[in-house]
Structures are given as structure tokens and as C-alpha cells.
């Protein structure tokens, strides 16, 4: 049995201790804050021995993967999400049969994800260094560079675990939000100048003011900042859209109830997974080119110029629509299609499918008047709505992310989209926790003891 | 069920979903925008301060 074979491997890998008690609000806040600051500090540690002319091959996707190019955490959450994709396809596709509602199977799932994430970290580090995306300043530093990137990647894996067990939300979400929020604020407010143009402030707003004082106002500088605001306002709207499922059934009088579900039902997870998938396409295109068989397309100067890799690289400005509409169309279809697929897998695996939701409603003591077996009835209603919401929500969030990228917003359109969702969910969790800390009775009632 | 029927059935389901979907109210929208906006700025400012300090230290 595969499960038994994996057990000794899991026991070799250190684990973050699980809390044996309900972690109080303040403690959760403390851990989340510590990891957040640690993440920012790691982002400032530059790789030793990195050639100064290294170009970022995955600039557009980097923000979504919470990596900071040229730092020890260049990989960000890429390896964790890549590992998660493989497992979701295996388990969601019923190739590997695991029942995630059982704790021991869930432990196997999480253990395997961690092992895979470590393997991906090493693999991505080697590929990036050997293909020249992160070239060393001298050949003897090659493996020192790989080692540093791997250490950074493994640190991220453990920091993610700390947040998941002791903090709010997940580390993956926190790091994405942190990276994007930092890019937005630094990109718009930085008063220091970049090394390439000394004397000129690097941030968009100070740069604009500088251009005003020099007599030639350059309004183009403000476009990325405005794009952030526009994407933000649209995504907030989409995030707060609800679907209210009527719980009455079969025309029973007085049996009126509504159960609200988010329209973006699988949250923004499909976008994160799709972005990681696209990043892997670029990574493998690089690898195959280096091996002398550019079957996924040719990459030159860090940009895919033809083949599959070209069609699946993110269009980062709207001008591409005019220069190469076919590419934009193919990209959009693949991106949205993949979002639908991952939305469906995510709903299956994270316990928010029709069956589980009906069980939850039933366990909460909800009844449909006039029906003796409410649970079966709930299931009937939910299975009429949830599959459709999953697909529509997945397609919608994919379309939004695709559109947002075309605006060229600071932090990337997709990055802003994800960050809004992550921060909102973080707020919901914090608000709920705080409520429960204040009212122990409520906690008992909700069965969260 | 044939695949044609099941697609038609699914489209009917989608139509039903769109029928019961609800737009956010004005106050809800403003509340979500405020909360997420403040959250993003808060996290971003922490990152901003750390990156400015790092830039000043290295130059």
C-alpha cells in the first residue's frame, strides 16, 4: 500500500507542532505578524553570487507566486502550489483514492504535499540556475546559488505551516497578499531613486510630482496606480456577490429559507493554481530548450517568442490585443478553462461540495418543514445549484484575472485580484475569531471548542 | 442521459443560479471595500518600511 510506504518518509521530515488547544486570538495575531515580518525580511536578503545581469523570466507570474526576484525567496510559494496541483489532479481525478474527510487520509495528503513541495523547490532552483534565468556571477558559485534558493524555498514551506496551524488563514494567502501589497505601496510611494536613474524617485506618485516640478507633467506614470484602484473596485464588487439558494422545496407553504453562498464559490484558488500551472509551462520550456529540444517553444532574453510557451505567457498590457489577437484569445480560453477545472477540483477536495454542505446544514439543526428526511432534501437542492455555481464562479474569476492583467496594474492585475480576496477572507476569519473569544457560549454553540 | 441532454440540463442549472444571484448592497460594498483597502494598505506599509530601511542600509 502506498500510504504505508510513505509513512517512514513523512517521519523523516520535521513538522511544525500542532496546537493542542484552541489558539487564542492574540496568539494567532502574534504568529501571523511574526511570519509576515519574517517574509518581508527574507525578501530583502539578496542571493550571494547572483550575476548582475540576471533577468526575471517570470516577472508577471512572480507576484502571484509571492516570490521576490533575486532574493533568497525568489521561488515564493511556487513549489507549494505546484505540489498542490499534482495532488489535486491525482486525488480529484480518483487516480489516488483518498477520503479527505478522514483525518489519517488528510495527514497523508498533507505529508505528501510537503514532500512534493520540497522536491519542487530543489527542482525549480536547479532549473532556474542551470538554464541561466538566475545565472551565477562565476561558475564555481553555481551550486551555492542553488543551495541558497533551496533554503529560502524550504523556509517558506515551514512558514506556511506555522501560519496554517498557529495563525490566521494560510501562509500561501498571506505571502501573496504581502508581496502584492508591498509592490503596490512601494511602486506608488517610493521616494528613493532606483540605481538605473539616480536622482529620480522610483515610485509612481513621487515620480509624477518630480515630473511636475521639472515642467513636463507625465500623466502616464499614474496609469498603473489608477489601474490598481479600478481593479480593486471591480473585484470588491465581485467578491461580495452572493447566490441565495431558496431552501423551500416542492411547493410547501411557509417553508421559505435562503442559504447564501459566494458567487465566486471556489474562492480565488483556481487563479492561484492556474498561474502556477502557467509558470511551470515556462519553466519546462526553459528546461527543454536548455536540453536542446525546444518542444514547448523558444525563449529568448527571458521571454517566450514562439510555441506553446509564447501562447501561454501572460499578456501584460492591452496593446497585445491589437498586435496579436490570436495569442490573447488562446491565452484567455486556456486560462479560463483551467480556472473552471481547478474550481471543480477544489470544491470536490476542500469539503464544500453538495454532500458536505448538506451535512453541515443538517448538523446545524436546519430542517425543511414538511419533510421528514431533510438531509436528503438538502442534498437534492444543493446538487441542483452547487455544480453550476462552481463552474460559473470559476469562469468568472478567471475572466476577471485575465482582464485585470491587461490593465498593467502595479503588483499585476491577477495579484491585486487575489489580494482583495485573501485580505477579505482574512478579515472574515479575524472577525469570527474575535467574536468567539469574547463569547465562550457562542463557541460551544458552533461546536468549535 | 445523453450528453446533449446533460448539457442542456446544466445550462438550465446555470440559468437558475443567475436567477437567484444577488448584487451587493451599497453599504455592504462600501464596508468590504473599506476593510480590504485598509488591510492591503496596512500590510503594504509594513513591507514598504522594511524595504526602505533595507534600501537605505545597502546604499
The CATH number covering residue A223 comes to: 1.10.3370.10
In this structure, what is the dihedral angle of CA atoms A279, A283, A288, A291, given to the nearest 10 degrees?
180
**DSSP per-residue string spanning A288-332:** HHHTT--TT--EETTEE-SHHHHHTSPP-STTHHHH-HHHHHHHH
Residue A407 DSSP one-character state: T
Contacts of A388 in chain B (CB under 8 A): 10, 13-14, 16-17
Q: What is the CA radius of gyration of chain A?
A: 24
From the list A179, A260, A384, which residue is nearest B13 (CB)?
A384
Query: How far does the CA of residue B1 sit from the closest CA of chain A (Å)?
Result: 16
Name the E strands within A238-349: 242-246, 258-262, 299-300, 303-304
| Cross-chain Cβ contact B33/A236 below 8 Å | yes
Q: Which domain holds residue B22?
A: 3-58
Q: Report how far apart, in Å, the C-alpha atoms of A225 and of each of A220, A235, A408 are.
A: 10, 16, 9
Structure-model confidence comparison of residues B53 and A218, the more confident one = B53
Within a domain: A196: no
- For residue A371, the model assigns a pLDDT of 67
Q: Report how far apart, in Å, the C-alpha atoms of A449 and of each of A21, A30, A107, A442 are.
A: 9, 21, 21, 10
d(CA A339, CA A145): 34
Within a domain: A146: yes
The answer to whether the CB of A121 falls within 8 A of the CB of A157 is: yes
Within a domain: A199: no
From the list B13, B39, B50, which residue is nearest A427 (CB)?
B39
- Chain A within 8 Å of B6 (Cβ-Cβ)? no
Sequence-distant (6+) residues with CB within 8 A of A244 are A258, A259, A260, A261, B20, B21, B22
Contacts of B20 in chain A (CB under 8 A): 243-246, 385
Q: How far apart are the first and last CA of chain B?
A: 70
Within a domain: A398: yes
Q: Which domain holds residue A309?
A: 2-190+204-445
The answer to whether the CB of A62 falls within 8 A of the CB of A116 is: no
Local confidence pLDDT in tens for the 449 residues of chain A: 677 788 888 888 888 888 998 888 899 999 999 999 999 999 999 999 888 777 776 776 787 888 888 899 999 999 999 999 999 889 988 888 888 888 888 888 889 999 999 999 999 999 889 888 888 888 889 999 999 999 999 999 999 999 999 999 999 999 999 999 999 999 999 888 877 777 788 888 998 988 888 878 888 889 999 999 999 999 999 988 988 887 765 444 554 577 888 999 988 999 999 999 998 898 888 889 888 888 888 887 777 888 888 888 888 778 888 888 999 999 999 999 999 999 999 998 888 888 888 888 777 777 666 666 677 888 888 888 899 999 999 999 999 999 998 988 888 889 999 999 999 999 989 888 888 777 766 666 655 44
- The pTM assigned to this predicted structure is 0.89
d(CA A98, CA A106): 8
Q: Which of A68, A92, A66, A63 is nearest to A79 (CA)?
A: A66
Q: Which of A384, A293, A390 is nearest to A342 (CA)?
A: A390
- Chain A within 8 Å of B40 (Cβ-Cβ)? yes
Contacts of B16 in chain A (CB under 8 A): 384-385, 388
| Cross-chain Cβ contact A240/B50 below 8 Å | no
| Cross-chain Cβ contact B13/A186 below 8 Å | no
C-alpha cell at A275: 498561474
Strand-pairing partners, residue A46, are: A71
d(CA A274, CA A290): 25
Within a domain: A153: yes
- Chain A within 8 Å of B8 (Cβ-Cβ)? no
ipTM of the complex: 0.89
Within a domain: A16: yes
**Residue from A73, A187, A228, A236 whose CB has the most chain B CBs within 10 Å, to mutate:** A236
C-alpha cell at A71: 532574493
Spell out a b/e string for A148-168, using b for 16 or more CB atoms within 10 Å of the CB, else e: bbbebbbbbbbbbbbbbebbb
The 3-state DSSP class for residue A193 equals: strand
Within a domain: A115: yes
The answer to whether the CB of A169 falls within 8 A of the CB of A268 is: no
Within a domain: A244: yes
Number of domains present in the structure of chain A: 1
* H or E element that contains A102: none
Number of domains present in the structure of chain B: 1
| Cross-chain Cβ contact A189/B48 below 8 Å | yes
| Cross-chain Cβ contact A236/B29 below 8 Å | yes
| Cross-chain Cβ contact B28/A37 below 8 Å | no
Amino acid at each position: 500500500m502506498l500510504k504505508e510506504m510513505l509513512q517512514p518518509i513523512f517521519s523523516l521530515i520535521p513538522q511544525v507542532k500542532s496546537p493542542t488547544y484552541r489558539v487564542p486570538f492574540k496568539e494567532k495575531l502574534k504568529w501571523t505578524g511574526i511570519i509576515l515580518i519574517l517574509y518581508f525580511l527574507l525578501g530583502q536578503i539578496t542571493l550571494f553570487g547572483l550575476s548582475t545581469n540576471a533577468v526575471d523570466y517570470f516577472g508577471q507570474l512572480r507576484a502571484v507566486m509571492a516570490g521576490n526576484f533575486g532574493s533568497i525567496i525568489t521561488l515564493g510559494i511556487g513549489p507549494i502550489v505546484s505540489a498542490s496541483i499534482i495532488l489535486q489532479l491525482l486525488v480529484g481525478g480518483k487516480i489516488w483514492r483518498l477520503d479527505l474527510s478522514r483525518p489519517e487520509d488528510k495527514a497523508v495528503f498533507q505529508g505528501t504535499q510537503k514532500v512534493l513541495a520540497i522536491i519542487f523547490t530543489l527542482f525549480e532552483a536547479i532549473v532556474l540556475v542551470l538554464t541561466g534565468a538566475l545565472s551565477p556571477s562565476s561558475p564555481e558559485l553555481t551550486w551555492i546559488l542553488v543551495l541558497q534558493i533551496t533554503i529560502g524555498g524550504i523556509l517558506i514551506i515551514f512558514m506556511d505551516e506555522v501560519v496554517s496551524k498557529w495563525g490566521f488563514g494560510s501562509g500561501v494567502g498571506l505571502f501573496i497578499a504581502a508581496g502584492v501589497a508591498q509592490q503596490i505601496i512601494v511602486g506608488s510611494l517610493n521616494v528613493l531613486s532606483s540605481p538605473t536613474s539616480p536622482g529620480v524617485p522610483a515610485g509612481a506618485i513621487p515620480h509624477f510630482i518630480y515630473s511636475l516640478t521639472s515642467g513636463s507633467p507625465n500623466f502616464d506614470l499614474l496609469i498603473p496606480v489608477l489601474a490598481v484602484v479600478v481593479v480593486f473596485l471591480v473585484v470588491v464588487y465581485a467578491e461580495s456577490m452572493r447566490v441565495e439558494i431558496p431552501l423551500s422545496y416542492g411547493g410547501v407553504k411557509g417553508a421559505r429559507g435562503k442559504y447564501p453562498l459566494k458567487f465566486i464559490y471556489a474562492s480565488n484558488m483556481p487563479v492561484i493554481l492556474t498561474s502556477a500551472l502557467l509558470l511551470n509551462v515556462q519553466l519546462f520550456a526553459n528546461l527543454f530548450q536548455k536540453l536542446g529540444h525546444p518542444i514547448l517553444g523558444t525563449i529568448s532574453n527571458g521571454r517566450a517568442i514562439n510555441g506553446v510557451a509564447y501562447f501561454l505567457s501572460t499578456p501584460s498590457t492591452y496593446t497585445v490585443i491589437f498586435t496579436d489577437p490570436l495569442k490573447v484569445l488562446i491565452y484567455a480560453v486556456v486560462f479560463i478553462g483551467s480556472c473552471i477545472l481547478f474550481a471543480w477540483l477544489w470544491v470536490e477536495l476542500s469539503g464544500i461540495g453538495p454532500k458536505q454542505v448538506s451535512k453541515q446544514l443538517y448538523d446545524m439543526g436546519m430542517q425543511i418543514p414538511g419533510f421528514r428526511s431533510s438531509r436528503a432534501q438538502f442534498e437534492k437542492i444543493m446538487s441542483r445549484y452547487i455544480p453550476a455555481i462552481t463552474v460559473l464562479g470559476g469562469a468568472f474569476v478567471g475572466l476577471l484575472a485575465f482582464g485585470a492583467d491587461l490593465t498593467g496594474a502595479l503588483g499585476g492585475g491577477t495579484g491585486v485580484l487575489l489580494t482583495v480576496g485573501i485580505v477579505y477572507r482574512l478579515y472574515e476569519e479575524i472577525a469570527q475569531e474575535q467574536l468567539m473569544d469574547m463569547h465562550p457560549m457562542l463557541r460551544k454553540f458552533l461546536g468549535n471548542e | 442521459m445523453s450528453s446533449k441532454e446533460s448539457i442542456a440540463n446544466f445550462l438550465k442549472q446555470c440559468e437558475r443560479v443567475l436567477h437567484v444571484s444577488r448584487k451587493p448592497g451599497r453599504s455592504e460594498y462600501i464596508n468590504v471595500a473599506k476593510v480590504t483597502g485598509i488591510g492591503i494598505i496596512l500590510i503594504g506599509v509594513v513591507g514598504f518600511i522594511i524595504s526602505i530601511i533595507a534600501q537605505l542600509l545597502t546604499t
